[in-house]
Amino acid sequence: MALKGNLRDYTVTHLFRLINLAQKTGTLIVDGPNEKVLVSFREGKLAYAQAGQEDNSLVTILYQAKKLTAPQYRALKERAGNMSDKELGLLLVNANYINQQDILVSLQNHFVAIVNRLFTWVEGFFRFESDLLPPDDKITVRVSLENIIIEGARQLRELEQLQDEIPNLDIALKFADRPGANIRNFNLSVEEWQVVRYINPKNTIRQIARATKMSDLQIRKIVYALLQAGLVELVRAEGAPRPAPPPQVASRIPVTQPNPEEQKSLINRLINRIRSL
Amino acid sequence: MQTVKMVVTGPFNAGKTEFIRSVSEIDVVSTERKISTESERVKETTTVAMDFGRITVDEDLVLYLFGTPGQKRFDFMWEILSEGMLGFVVMVDSTRPETFREARSILETFRAYAPTPYVVAANKQDREDAWEIDDMRIALRLDPKIKLLPCVATEKEMVKNVLLELLYSILADMESKGGG
C-alpha cells in the first residue's frame, strides 16, 4: 500500500518524522517542479541521496568536497571510469590518497545537502518505495534523521503554520520514550537547550516560554522542531484541570443516561446486537 | 425505552454517511445538500446538520448513530451532537493525507467536549493509494493505546468491527473506573 501524496499537504519534515519513527527502509522519491530527488533510508536512517541527473559518482563528490585535486580528479575520471564507487573507494584508501573516514564524511555531507534542499520545497509529489534500495555499487552511509529534521524544522518561519501545529501553549511536554533517542546526540542550539532544561509534564509550554523569556513564536518554533524530531511528546500538564463539560444544550433526540450499575449490561446488549447484524 | 448514542465524526468526505448507512436499520435520515464551495467539490453533496441512523437492540433499548457534518463551517453542530454520547468514532480517509491534521484537530475537539472512549477508523483501506495503518498512526500522532482500525465504510462487517471495538473500549473504560 502507498505512502504517497503532495508536499503541499504533507511536508518533508512530517515525512522524515514518519520514516524516522517507523524505522523505514526504502526510497523516497520526490518529483518537484524542477527536479526529481531520491532519498534512500535503512531502518529509519539516511543511507543515500540522488538529485536529478547530477553526477553522483564518488570521484565527483570527493572533488567537490576538496578531497581530490583537479589533476587527481581528471586522472581518476579517465582511468577509473569503469570502476564502481566501492572499488574506487577501496583503491583510494589502499593507495593512501584518502582515508575511509574522509570518504564517509564527504558522502554524508553530500547526501545531507541534497536532503536540506528538499526542506525548501513546498510543492511536489512524493511516494515511498519499500522495495527500492540504492544501487549495489554505491557506498551508503548511516545518518540519524533527528538532526536533519531539527535543521529542516528551523526553516519553518510561518506563525500561522506553527499555530496549526501547536495550537495550545497550555499543554506540557515530556521526553519521548524511544530507545536509542539520546538527547546528547542532537545538535541543539543554545535556545533549544534552554527549553530542554524545562521539559517536564509539570511545566506548560507557556510557562517554559516565560522562564526562558521567549515569545510565542520563538517557543513554538523550538517545540515544533523537538516534536518533529521525535524527541518530545505533548501531554496534558500535570495538575491541569480537565476541560469543563459543555453547557447543557437541549438535544433534539432524548438520550437516556443509565446509572453505572446498568451500564455494563447495556454495553453487553449492544455488543450482542451488533454482532448479530 | 432507553436510548443511547454514538457519534461518527471526521473531516469532509471521510465516509461518515456511508459508515452509518452500512449498519442502520432505517434509511439514514440525512441532511445532505449540494456542495457550494468549488474547492470541496470532490463529491456532489455533503452533510450540513447531521446524519442519523438507528439500531434497535431490543424492545427496551435503541442505539442511535449520529454523523457530524464534515465541513468546518457547520462545526457548531458538533457540541450539540456530542452531548451524552457513549463514545465516538473518528473517520479518516486513508487516501488523503491532507486531511490528517484536520482529523487530529476534530479528535481533540471531541475529546474536550466529553472524555468518552473513542476509536479511529482508517477508511477506504481497499483503495490502492491508501496509507498503511502503521504510517497513519504516526501521521495522526495517535497514542499506541488508541485503536486505529482498518475500515471500508461500505462493507458492513468492517463497520460492525469498528463499532464493536468502540464498545469493547467503553466496557474496558467502565471496568477500569470500577463501574458495573
Domain membership flag for residue A181: yes
> Are A194 and A129 in a shared domain?
no
Domain count, chain A: 2
Q: Which residue has the cell 484541570?
A: A241
| pLDDT band with cut points at 50, 70 and 90 for residue B6 | very high
CATH no. for residue B92? 3.40.50.300
Chain B contacts in chain A segment 196-255 (CB below 8 A): 242-243, 245-246, 248-249, 251-255
Average pLDDT over residues B46-72: 79
Q: Which domain holds residue B15?
A: 2-176
Chain A residue with the nearest C-alpha to that of B172: A264
* Distance to chain A for B104, nearest Cα, Å: 10
% of chain B residues with pLDDT over 70: 82
* Cβ contact A200:A172 at 8 Å: yes
Q: Do both A82 and A166 map to the same domain?
A: no
Q: How crowded is residue A72: how many other Cβ atoms within 10 Å of its Cβ?
A: 16
Structure confidence at residue A251 (pLDDT): 45
- Please write the tens of the pLDDT for every residue from B8-29: 999 988 999 999 999 988 876 6
Question: Do A30 and A138 share a domain, yes or no?
Answer: yes
Query: B83 and A275: CB-CB below 8 Å?
Result: no
Q: For B55-64, what is the mean pLDDT?
A: 91
pLDDT of residue A77: 85
Closest to B9 measured CA to CA, from B172, B166, B128, B171: B166
Domain count, chain B: 1
Residue A131 lies in a domain: yes
Most confident segment among A156-160, A170-174, B78-82, B159-163: B159-163
pLDDT of residue A229: 82
Residue A262 resides in a domain: no
Which residue from B84, B135, B167 is facing A270, i.e. has the nearest CB? B167
Pick the residue of B4, B19, B79 with the most A CBs within 10 A to test the interface with A by mutation: B4
Residue A271 and residue B171: Cβ atoms within 8 Å? yes
Whether residues A100 and A182 share a domain: the answer is no
A256 touches chain B (CB under 8 A): yes
A residues 172-191 near B, CB within 8 Å?
Answer: none
Same structural domain, A43 and A118: yes
- Determine the pLDDT at residue A111: 96
Does residue A74 form part of some domain? yes
Radius of gyration over alpha carbons of chain A, in Å? 25
Residue B180 clears pLDDT 50, i.e. is over it = no
Residues 6+ apart with CB under 8 A from B143: none
Q: How many CB pairs under 8 A join A and B?
A: 125
Interface of B with A in 70-129 (CB under 8 A): 79-80, 82-86, 96-98, 100-101, 105, 112-115, 125, 128-129
CB B123 within 8 A of CB B140: no
Q: Is the minimum CB–CB distance between A164 and chain B shorter than 8 Å?
A: yes
Same domain as A170, residue A61: no
d(CA A269, CA A246): 29
pLDDT at B72 over 50: yes
Predicted complex ipTM: 0.85
The per-residue pLDDT for B148 is 97
Q: Is residue A264 part of a domain?
A: no
Range of the domain at A52: 4-143
Backbone angles phi, psi at A164, to 5 degrees: -65, -40
In a domain, A26, yes or no: yes
Which residues in chain A show pLDDT less than 50? 245-252
| Domain-ending residue, one of A77, A112, A143 | A143
Same domain, A20 and A105: yes
Residue B41 confidence (pLDDT) above 70: no
Closest CA to A169 of A246, A231, A240: A240
**In a domain? residue A252:** no
> Which is higher by pLDDT, B73 or A246?
B73
Give the per-residue pLDDT at A129. Answer: 94
Instruction: Choose the closest CB to A18 out of B52, B80, B139.
Output: B139
DSSP one-letter code for B103: H
pLDDT band at B157 (very low <50, low <70, confident <90, very high): very high
Backbone angles phi, psi at B119, to 5 degrees: -130, 160
The CA distance from B13 to B8, in Å, is 13
Provide, as residue numbers in chain B, all residues whose Cβ is less than 8 Å from the Cβ of A260.
174, 179-180
Same domain, A38 and A132: yes
User: Of A90, A110, A143, which closes a domain?
Assistant: A143
Residue A112's pLDDT is 94
Q: Are A124 and A186 part of one and the same domain?
A: no
Q: Are residues A46 and A137 in the same domain?
A: yes
Say if residue A34 is in the same domain as residue A103. Answer: yes
Alpha helices in A95-215 (DSSP H): 100-118, 146-154, 159-165, 190-197, 205-211
pLDDT, residue B1, reads 78
Residues A122 and A172 reside in one and the same domain: no
What are the cell numbers at A14?
512530517
